Structure 1
Amino acid sequence: MERGGARQALRGLAMAIESLLAEISRAHFPHPPATPERIAAFEARMRWPLDEDLRAFFLHCDGAELFERLPDANYSILSLEEIEAATSRVRLRDKGAREAASWYPLVDCQDSDFVLVDVAHSGGPYPLLDAYHETYPREVRRIVGSFREFLERALTSGNRFFWLEE
């Protein structure tokens, strides 16, 4: 199936996370999976549990680039280790903003722009936020209500930032 045909097949209303993960493995650049032990250690250090979709993603692949490999990837979904490292960088930018305490970098969109996961409401699904480097943390905009929805829209975006086209 051509890439355009794959996009058409993914345009269903609510794809199962398994179908989205299969598409990442088929046509994108997944990293090797995280172990359950690595996930447990991450959750203990970060003090927030992965929701069901994030857990499935990290068990399938501990990070991935969509459409292009780095350094050209618009969508670089961070590994658990990269989330930990990038959190320090983002915290320096948020200058102690109260809301930012529950925001963690999940997708590196390059040029110091991130998509954040908001873990304020434990258990999930967690919403994802646009953290544009010019306005963060003063202006943060909700993109989607879950990681699954983010993957659905990203995988059908043609490598464009779908939330900027709305």
Structure 2
Amino acid sequence: MSMRSLLAEISRIHHPNAPATPIQLAAFEAHVGWELDGDLRAFYLHCDGGTLFETRANAHYRFLPLAEIRRARLAIRASDEDEDGAPSVYTLVDMQDSDFIVLDVAQRIAGRYPLFDAWHETFPVVERIASSFEEFLEKALRSGNRSFWLSSDPQER
């Protein structure tokens, strides 16, 4: 499914925030020192975060607005020390159970960032769960509000 179709589905069925502006994207990239890939750029120009399935108070998938994306070690360990995680790993989705979906900006592959499950109990050890934001978003939208990477159903993996 294309990114355009996935974004249309978010607008139709889920709870997107208002779009970020190109100026906000540029300010974010200047602040963090890395560029959004094409998938993330399309997402944030469509909606500056939002939730799937439920409103924010009850959301399992809460896509962080640009203003809330930060180094994972700060979000998970409240530390900015290297022993608490690589400085290149950033939060992207708050799963609301002390679990985050993160990306590692040092691992851009074919122009896209892979995504990882970052559970607070085992962080900085992470598990790769998607090759790109587009792949993650498609699986999340089909998950029935479950963490698709934890499912034993092979159709969801």
TM-score by length of structure 1 reads: 0.84
Partners of 1:85 and 1:121 in 2: how far apart?
15
* Total equivalences in the alignment: 151
Q: Following TM superposition, by how much is the alpha carbon of 1:134 offset from its aligned partner in structure 2, in angstroms?
A: 1.1
- Contact kept, 8 Å, 1:30 with 1:62, in 2: the verdict is yes
Specify the alignment match of 2:141 in structure 1.
155
User: 1:131 aligned to 102, 118, 122, which one?
Assistant: 118
CA RMSD of aligned residues (A): 2.0
Specify the alignment match of 1:67 in structure 2.
53
The runs of 4+ residues in structure 1 deviating greater than 4 Å are: none
What amino acid maps onto 2:28 in structure 1?
A: F
Partners of 1:91 and 1:49 in 2: how far apart?
24
User: 2:102 aligned to 85, 108, 116, which one?
Assistant: 116
Deviates more, 1:124-133 or 1:78-87: 78-87
Q: Which runs of 5+ in 2 are unaligned?
A: 153-157
Q: Following TM superposition, by how much is the alpha carbon of 1:121 offset from its aligned partner in structure 2, in angstroms?
A: 3.6
2:82 partner SS? coil
Q: Following TM superposition, by how much is the alpha carbon of 1:92 offset from its aligned partner in structure 2, in angstroms?
A: 2.5
Residues 9-88 of structure 1: pairs in structure 2 closer than 5 A: 15-84=1-70, 88=74
CA separation of 1:153/1:93 partners in 2, compared to 1, >3 Å: closer, same or farther? farther
1:76 partner SS? strand
Specify the alignment match of 2:155 in structure 1.
none
Q: Following TM superposition, by how much is the alpha carbon of 1:97 offset from its aligned partner in structure 2, in angstroms?
A: 3.4
Partners of 2:86 and 2:65 in 1: how far apart?
20
| Higher RCO, Cα 8 Å, sep 6+ | 1
Partners of 2:10 and 2:89 in 1: how far apart?
25
TM-score by length of structure 2 reads: 0.88
1:117 partner SS? strand
Percentage of identical aligned residues? 58
Q: Following TM superposition, by how much is the alpha carbon of 1:93 offset from its aligned partner in structure 2, in angstroms?
A: 5.2
